[in-house]
Chains A and B, each alone.
Chain A
Amino acid sequence: MTLPAHTPRPLPKAAIVAALWAWLLLLLLTHSFDDSPYSYGWALFEAQAHRLLGAVVNPDAAIVYNFTFFLYEGHWLDWNQAQNLKLPLHSFSVAMLVGITGSYLLASLIVNFAFAALVALAAVTLADRFALGRGATLVALLTFFSLPLYVEYLGQPLQYVAGPAVSFLVVMSVIALAPEDARNPWIAGLATALALLNYDPYIYVAALVSWFLFVNRFARKRDYVFYVIAAALPSVFWTQYLRFISGGAMTKHLRRQFIEPVVEAWTNFARAPLDNILLPFVASHVGVHVAFHQVIAIIYWPLLATAIGLLIRLRPRIDKRFALAALLPCFLVLEQIVAAGWDWELNPRRAIPVVLAFGFAYVYAVDAMWSRRGWRIAFMALFCLSAILATADTLFRNPGMAFLRTGQAMQRRPQDAIGFGYRKLDELPKLVHNDHPMIWRDMGRARLERSRAGVFAVTQAMCLLLFTGLFWLTARARILPRWSPYAAAGLWVVSLMRFLS
């Protein structure tokens, strides 16, 4: 007797997306404000987190708050605290939603969730395009969204979810673009411009520029000129505009803290290479070490080991499109080789571009091995492991995982992590809790001073262009719905009701 052939019905795409969104929502709810590792992490180092509208947040959130207020109604801004103006999309989106919800905290959470949800939707659509199995896609993406990047920042009113999401959407779009679009210098320029005006753009921009110029070459020589213009113009305009409206007072905090020490050190080397002859090797040694540490801080090592092992085993041919993803880890290592020796912070967030590359590799590997039962069980076990690690603070009140993702973990004895792994959240003396009740309705009607109307209009126009540009690109690449740029513009129009009621 033979059993009838049984072909399991594939999961509907909507179910996968719903499961991913539910998982993101769960992580958001369990890791908001005082439950966020980026808040209670301060107590690990005997420092106090900040409060914003009754919610415990990372102190950096205060800077973002002021800038968001500036985008909300053209409010006065302390230019010395305005470094986030160089990456306006997050605060612009929050300001829009504040206009609708009247709540800064709620708007921030919605923006974080929405951007992560968009990445999930785009990833599922892209996986469908490459005919990947839906079961594999679901498990791989659930694992992906359990990574520290999301657990750490989903519940913070900060740009760290929206910023990487924008970059991820740009890279996914470029990979998904039709060949003729990918060789269109204006579309390529838009993608690069979006990355350039976003959070920590260096690695993405380096990868995009290298890919457009050397891998996916343009058809005509003049296209290179068009590409450079399209890529650089928004950034140049925005920088000059900020300089103009700030009267030259725009902060150089990031440049002073992160770029100048690196430039100075290499300039010193160039001036007296024989006196510092070992510097290139020593600095690159530090860079390689730091890059490795950053990567395993932000991708649980068993996942990374599995992905690398399977890539070596499967040895995929790297399609020209996916070379873009492969360039990301290369540029992370290069960046760290050059900079880590003088980077005081050594923040594992530098490795976020590698998380995207890992995402591609892992989804591919899971799909390739999904038909084997043993591997299916292994992938599910890896997801369970990731989920437990992601929610360890909620389940066991244990803050050990948060320590591993800090720059401090890289600057201290490696074994210090063990001590933090033994601690309990409630035993941290400086741990603070949200106020009860938190202020969920804090924004009144927006008031635009006439003298600032011009600045407000130009700023909104620029941000709206970037915002709709992002959705136009993703829609063009068919990883988000066609109507998404119109919806984005519509949302902005609706948000103007903040001036009415």
Chain B
Amino acid sequence: MSRRTVVAIVWAWIVLLTVTHFGARSPYSYGWAMFDHDSARISGAVVNPDALLIANVTRFFYDASPLNWGSQEAENLRLPLHSFTTAMLMSFTRSFLLANVLVNVLFAMLVALAAVNLAERYRIRREATLVALLTFFALPMYVEYLGQPLHYVAGISVSFLVVMSVVALVVAGDDARYAALAIAILSLNYDPYVYIAALVVLFGRRLKWSLLLAAMPVAVWAITLRVLSGNTMTTHLRKWFVLPVLSGWVDFFMAPLDRILLPFVATHVGLQVAFHQLIAMIYWPLLAVCVFLLVKLRPKLELRVVALLPLFFVLEQLAAAAFDWELNPRRAIPAVLAFAFAYLYAMDREWQRWRIAFIALFLMSGLLAMSDTLFGKPAIAYLHTGQAIRHDVHDIVRAERMRLDTDSLPRLTRDEPITWRDVDRAKAQNLGTFAVTQTMGVLLLFGLFWLTARAELLPRWLPWAAVAMWAVSLVRFVS
């Protein structure tokens, strides 16, 4: 089997998942109806209400349209790559929805391509690579978000590409030279804590002053946002997710004897949540087989960064889950990447004996990923929700009886005729703001692709192609 065939098949699978899970058919859209809530609509397509926030940020990157700095929507400015890329593609498609879908598919495809290239580097047999990647892309994080105009696929992909690049560079002996860039990109991306902690521990003292260099972009961007917003930039995420955790632990340290059981109880809760998040994001039979094979094969831990990801994920949950109101399984995404490495390794080593089992596991994963499309049942989507962790576990079994129709889910909404051309020519306004934000976006995008190209995971011309594409995208002001 040629490398191209592997890539083509995986890409086709990604496209199929996107087409079958767009708009009203996306679990992140119809999921709201399972909890008796309404989804939102953008240009006729049913979307998760969070997408409305992204739309404004993307518009900001498109032509520096005014933004409500104090509202929750501005939070996504702290992770600019998704909206910047979508805005770029909006210039060509003149469609918010289409640009989002393209960005999701493209980033997922880039991860697939990079993964195949990395597997080649390790001389993993191609059949194993194919089946492992097909299984990987059948995991909930892709099914759930590929069809949503949201940052989750792009954000996840950026982190995955960075970690894969670091792995490839470390193997190539380039070691810490690019760590600062990797950390800088991650720090301006979605949910970066676990990845950054892993890289900092991996490189440790070798980072030295380059750690300051790594912190520079995020500091510059934070100052830029503060200046642009006139110091009114939202602190919504900090208030909702970071402060409660800090407050919980500060309370403990203020009166440790009064709350003496807190360290144990909080870590007990954290471990329980971490496990639930993990099996929400990785179908448990895959996880069980992977763990079993790892115990059996007992590989040498050459890829320490991969092992550090689940470790820091668990540590994060031990510290934070007890005070996290949302308990979103997305927190486990770094562990999903580690799982992918482990599963691919185990599959390659045991391909001769276990291949039927691996193929069966892929079929099961494919069936679960497509269960809403094939059987009109939303139960698998329920498993990936924070509610599944916060509510009585028996609710999960009750959710199995739900069907994707209004008899079962009265608040279920359907797509209206979709307006595929909903973006006008960009207005030349706030040019200073536009220039600053675009510079940051281009630098980040270039940096990401330069790193992956340097690691020989993606083509060498990709960073230049990205810059060229951005330049061409300025056509948005012309017609």
Contact = CB atoms under 8 A, between A and B. Distances in A.
A428 interface: no
Contact of A401 (B261, B288, B371, B390): B261
B392 A411 contact: yes
A281 B258 CA distance: 43
Contacts of B371: 277-278
Given A285-B279, A285-B383, A414 B400 contact: no
Interface in A470-485: none
Contacts of B275: 289, 292-293
B397 A286 contact: yes
Interface residues of A, number: 46
Nearest to B321: A414
Nearest to A396: B260
Interface stretch (A14-22, A122-130, A340-348, A373-381): A340-348
B271 interface: yes
Where chain B touches its partner, the secondary structure class is: helix
Nearest to B375: A277
A298 to B, nearest CB: 12
A422 interface: yes
B298 interface: yes
Given A414-B327, A417-B265, A296 B272 contact: yes
A278 B377 contact: yes
A282 B399 contact: yes
Q: Assign chain B's interface to a size class.
A: 35 or more
Given A282-B379, A396-B260, A421-B262, A301 B271 contact: yes
A414 B390 contact: yes
Contacts, number: 125
B472 interface: no
A62 B454 CA distance: 73
Contacts of A312: 295, 298
Nearest to A392: B261
Interface string A382-398: 00010001001000101
Given A289-B279, A398-B260, A278 B375 contact: yes
Interface in B232-285: 248, 257-262, 264-269, 271-273, 275-276, 279, 283-284
Contacts of B257: 396
Nearest to B374: A277
A482 B15 CA distance: 72
A448 B384 CA distance: 62
20 contacts: A265-B397, A278-B380, A282-B396, A282-B400, A286-B396, A290-B393, A296-B271, A301-B267, A301-B271, A396-B261, A398-B260, A400-B265, A414-B390, A415-B321, A417-B322, A418-B248, A418-B269, A418-B323, A421-B262, A421-B265
Closest 9 CB pairs of A and B: A421-B265, A341-B397, A400-B261, A411-B392, A282-B400, A421-B261, A414-B269, A278-B379, A413-B390
Interface of A: 265, 274, 276-279, 281-286, 288-290, 292-293, 296, 300-301, 312, 315, 340-342, 344, 346, 385, 389, 392, 396, 398, 400-401, 404, 410-415, 417-418, 420-422
